[in-house]
Structure 1
Amino acid sequence: MSDAPSLDDRFAAAMGQCLGPDFPSEIGLAVSGGGDSMSMLALAHNWTKRWGVRLRVVTVDHGLRPGSADEARLVAEECRVLGWPHDTLNWQGWDGQGNLQDAARRARLSLIDGWRQGMRDVLFAHTADDQAETVLMRLRRGSGVEGLAGMAQIREAGAMRVIRPLLGERRDALRFYLRVMRIPFAEDPSNADEGFERVRMRKLLGALEEAGLGVDALTGTAQRMARAAEALKARAADIAARLTRLDWGQIVIDRDGFAETERDTQMRLLAASLRFVAGGTYRPRADALEALLDGALSGRGGTLGGAALHVEGGEMRIVRELNAVEETATEAGTGRLWDGRWRIEGPEINGLTVRALGTRGWSQVTPKPQLGPRFRQALSLPAVFRGETLVACAALGFGPAHTCRFEGPAPSLARFVLSH
């Protein structure tokens, strides 16, 4: 008789590692109706009997296949039987352009983030097979350490935490569990569509397994790469603390110190600066980042991911790209953030329009500032207008005193590097 832990025991251990020892009172589950997510629903249901945590279940119906609504109803019925609340969210945002699977994934995260209503943790049913496929896809694209680290078991997605308790489990083991427990599930026909890159990688894995380069080898590599990524992240955070400062939501980098830093850390600092300033969810593509870095080291600027890089004197400055915010406007004093990160209010400006300073606003600033952001660096800063007349720009010391607070993703670039 085998002494190996059961799937339920392994799931409980993974949940303890991800969420313990003080479990939240409520967690969410993203359940599509496929085999992996229906296994997760059953395992989580059994796990709650011991820990008393409440479950809330959500299904995102992307509306891309005729049977997707039936799959959502299958999940709803299983949740009714188990006694857990279930919601179906419908996505109607596909315009036929770009990468369908990537667009669907982004939409799924966004919809679930809006659904969770303050609940922090949401379980996703990614498996070891999914991890191996991800590593293969990223290897094909020439990814570095972070890419080859694959998916993290715990990922911060804004205020939501994505938890993957099945990341160490094989898909076959989950299917066996479903059959033994007689749990219903749906087969997604798109899993056989070789028009999708992930499906092609899935089929390739079968051949690679025979050569010893299967799921276990690839997931083992991902784990080692994840450890290396943590060490490299710590190095980048240390350099960021020494070489960078935050100035009105812009990142200023000491140019000489940056030039003396090893290239991998340069790439990390530049990528983190772009994301910090522009609010990007993902790191820029390696080739585009390399090109921007080469330009910066030779004294040229450039734009990438909604941010712009300026090289002047002994500094490199990462600012918000004007084109990305030129049409963005909000009303001062309403509590709404301009560009998702600036809180602007004050008795003499409330009710007026907040938008980027731009060239027209800059032309009205008198006298021009001697310190801080210069002309090109200042154009995307928040300013307050009455019609076309500039009333205030706190960053340039212009106009009546008011609150202009940057509520960015972290108090410093070093903290941002460590947390993303």
Structure 2
Amino acid sequence: MSVDHSQWLAAQGDDAPLLTRALAAGGAAGAPPATLAVAVSGGSDSMAMLHLMARAAREAGWALKAVTVDHRLRREAAEEAAFVGETCAGLMVPHEVLVWDHGDVPGNLMQAAREARYGLMAAWAKRQGLGVVTLAHTADDQAETFLMGLSRAAGLDGLSGMRPEFAIDGVAFRRPFLSQTRAELRAYMTRHKLPWIDDPSNDNDRFTRIKARRALRALGPLGISVGELSAVISNLSAVQGLVQHAVAVAAQEAAAEVAGALRVEGRAFGALHPETRRRLLIAAVRWVSGAHHPPREAKLAALERALSLGKDATLGGVRFRWRDQACWVSREARACGGPVPAGQVWDGRWHLTGKVGEVRALGPEGLRQCPDWRATGLPRQVLEVTPGLWQGALLQAAPCAIFGREAATCAPSFKEFILSH
């Protein structure tokens, strides 16, 4: 049954627009999750979200938890986490600090920190039984991300902005204030005399986002502001949605999802528009491998050339192998995830029933213990990278190879993946 919060909102004065967005973070009206989490760093945006979500939770009857990630990259981080904890205690909101334990980080530090942050929060949320974590990104963050994309000569995907919602390992991350400006959230904090901590890295020009923030201010005299860029991003996002739908339709026509792999019909694939083919390949590589980012253009072009010549290929832990005018796209055996205890997600996307033993790749050894595997009609290289339930060297179940009583699901489906990435 839907719950009407209109009278309560009407009594909130200037806070009503932000509180409306906070209430919406719970999902469908009348059916909010029992408990939500808020990711709080101590900065103005996340602290405003914490206070707003706490008020919304009291009105809607949610339970609320807060989480802070200490990346161990700045000395001040521990103090900021403690400040968040004190604020949460005052709001009667349970708070936990997650620490990123790392040594030297090769490559892009900010990207590695971002991936670690979301991974830590997703794992924490699952341990807590939480399905939703809210993030405090604003319209300003959208505009800055757009400018950063321009600096990289990004295409449609890189200029369509941050998504209002995305999922990691079954946990939904929502951005309820993506349409609000940073100034609106700071005005809320100022109006209620609430403290926050300014991150000193916000003044460090070494970071690309800070350069984009300053560039955005410099563009003001040209009439290019957060509001105008938000409108542009919204338009591009609508186009991106149309393209994603077209690729999903093409996938249904040219590819079949089987046992966590794809069987791509060569003739149908070759008849697709070049851009649709390119996007379908990117989606296939990311869906099978779990990669956060598309492969580099040069490597993708090399893959396309090989497939157009009917040659087998590998890219990013994904194997492409031709068989009877179709190309099978499956996990590369050496790239499969390691063993996990029964009941846990294996290789980032497989869920196998069964409570005793461990889940690991079926492999040649497991396939030899499956007398009926040929009845599946699936290639050996596809079945060998599906999950098996093991006790030592003894295979207990291999659902994709018709062995044992357990069941296995691969999530999300390829179509769902295309439409959500």
Q: TM-score, normalised by structure 1?
A: 0.83
Q: Is the 8 A contact 1:343 1:403 kept in 2?
A: no
In 1: Cα distance, 2:271 partner to 2:418 partner:
19
Q: Which runs of 5+ in 2 are unaligned?
A: 1-9
Say which SS state the counterpart of residue 407 (structure 1) adopts.
strand
Q: Which amino acid aligns with 2:155?
A: G
Match of 2:304 among 293, 299, 324: 293
Q: Aligned-pair distance for 1:113?
A: 1.6
Matching of residue 210 in structure 1 with residue 258 in structure 2: no
Equivalent AA in structure 2 for residue 21 of structure 1: A
- Report if aligned partners of 1:322, 1:356 keep a CA contact under 8 Å in 2: no
Partner of 2:329: 318
- Residue 42 of structure 2 aligns with an amino acid whose one-letter code is G
Q: Root-mean-square deviation (CA), in Å?
A: 3.5
> Does the aligned pair in 1 maintain the 2:166–2:420 contact within 8 Å?
no
State how far apart, in whole Å, the 2-side matches of 1:134 and 1:316 are.
37
Determine if the alignment matches structure 1 residue 100 to structure 2 residue 109.
yes
Partners of 1:160 and 1:328 in 2: how far apart? 22
Contact 2:138 2:181 in 1 (8 A): yes
Q: In structure 1, what is the equivalent of residue 22 of structure 2?
A: 15
- Decide whether aligned partners of structure 1 residues 329 and 185 sit closer, same or farther in structure 2, where only a CA change above 3 A counts: closer
CA displacement 1:236-283 (0-9 Å, x = unmatched): 222222221123321011111111111232223222222332233444
Cα distance, 1:94–1:394 mapped onto 2, change above 3 Å: same
CA contact (8 A) 1:14 1:165 kept: yes
CA distance in 2, matches of 1:290, 1:85: 49
Q: Could you tell me how far 1:9 is from its partner in structure 2?
A: 1.7
C-alpha displacement at 1:223, in angstroms? 0.9
Map 1:14-413 → 2, pairs under 5 A: 14-18=21-25, 19-22=27-30, 23-116=32-125, 117-325=128-336, 328-329=338-339, 334-335=342-343, 338-340=346-348, 341=350, 343=352, 354-355=360-361, 357=363, 372-374=377-379, 380-381=385-386, 401-403=403-405, 405-410=407-412, 412-413=413-414
Give the secondary-structure state (helix, strand or coil) at the position aligned to 2:219. Answer: helix
- In structure 2, what is the equivalent of residue 416 of structure 1? 417
Secondary structure, aligned partner of 1:156: strand
One-letter amino acid of the structure 2 residue matched with residue 357 of structure 1:
G
CA separation in 2, counterparts of 1:191 and 1:31? 16
Residues 117-126 or 37-46, more deviating? 37-46
> Which whole-Å CA distance do the structure 2 matches of 1:97 and 1:344 have between them?
37
The letter for the 1-side match of 2:15 is: D
Classify 1:180/1:268 alpha carbon distance in 2 versus 1 (closer, same or farther; 3 Å): same
Closer, same or farther in 2 for the Cα pair 1:20/1:337, shift >3 Å?
closer
Q: Please report how far the alpha carbon of residue 75 of structure 1 lies from its aligned counterpart in structure 2 after TM superposition.
A: 0.9
Structure 1 SS opposite 2:67: strand
Residue identity matched to 2:98: L
Distance (Å, rounded) in 2 between the aligned partners of 1:6 and 1:296: 61
Q: 2-side partners of 1:24 and 1:35: how far apart?
A: 26
**Aligned equivalents of 1:184, 1:110: Cα separation in 2:** 29
The alpha-carbon deviation at position 125 of structure 1 amounts to: 0.7
Kept in 1, the 8 Å contact 2:372–2:401? The answer is no
CA distance in 2, matches of 1:336, 1:206: 47
Measure the CA separation in 2 of the matches of 1:43 and 1:365: 55
CA 1:282 to 1:409, structure 2 compared with 1: closer, same or farther past 3 Å?
A: farther
Say if 1:385 and 1:41 are closer, same or farther in 2 by CA, change over 3 A: closer
How far is 1:320 from its partner?
A: 0.5
Output the CA distance in 2 between the equivalents of 1:159 and 1:339. 14
How far 1:83 sits from its partner (Å)? 2.1
The Cα of 1:159 is off from its aligned counterpart by 1.6
**Distance change in 2, residues 1:55/1:396 (3 Å):** closer
Structure 1 residues 352 and 287 mapped into 2: Cα distance closer, same or farther (>3 Å)? Answer: closer
Q: CA deviation at 1:36?
A: 0.9
Paired AA for residue 9 in structure 1? A
SS at match of 2:81: helix
Sort the Cα spacing of 1:162 and 1:211 in 2 relative to 1 into closer, same or farther, 3 A.
Answer: same
Q: What secondary structure is seen at the aligned counterpart in 2 of 1:303?
A: strand
Per the TM alignment, residue 185 of structure 1 is displaced from its structure 2 partner at its CA by 0.9
Aligned length: 406
> What's 2:7 paired with?
none
1:385-406 Cα distance to aligned partner (Å, 9 max, x none): 9999999987678xxx425744
Indicate if the aligned counterparts of 1:11 and 1:43 stay in contact, CA closer than 8 A: yes
Deviations 1:288-316, CA, capped at 9 Å, x for gaps: 43442343233333322321222344212
CA 1:344–1:295: 2 relative to 1, 3 Å: farther
Deviation at residue 215 of structure 1 after TM alignment: 2.1
Determine helix, strand or coil for the equivalent of 1:253: strand
Q: Residues 82 and 367 of structure 1: is their aligned pair in 2 closer, same or farther, counting only changes over 3 Å?
A: closer
Q: C-alpha distance in 1, partners of 2:135/2:371?
A: 54
Instruction: Give the whole-Å Cα distance in 1 for the aligned partners of 2:389 and 2:33.
Output: 43
| Cα gap change, 1:387 to 1:106, in 2 (>3 Å) | closer
Corresponding letter in the other structure for 2:101: Q
Residues 381 and 407 of structure 1: is their aligned pair in 2 closer, same or farther, counting only changes over 3 Å? closer
Task: Decide whether aligned partners of structure 1 residues 221 and 292 sit closer, same or farther in structure 2, where only a CA change above 3 A counts.
Answer: farther
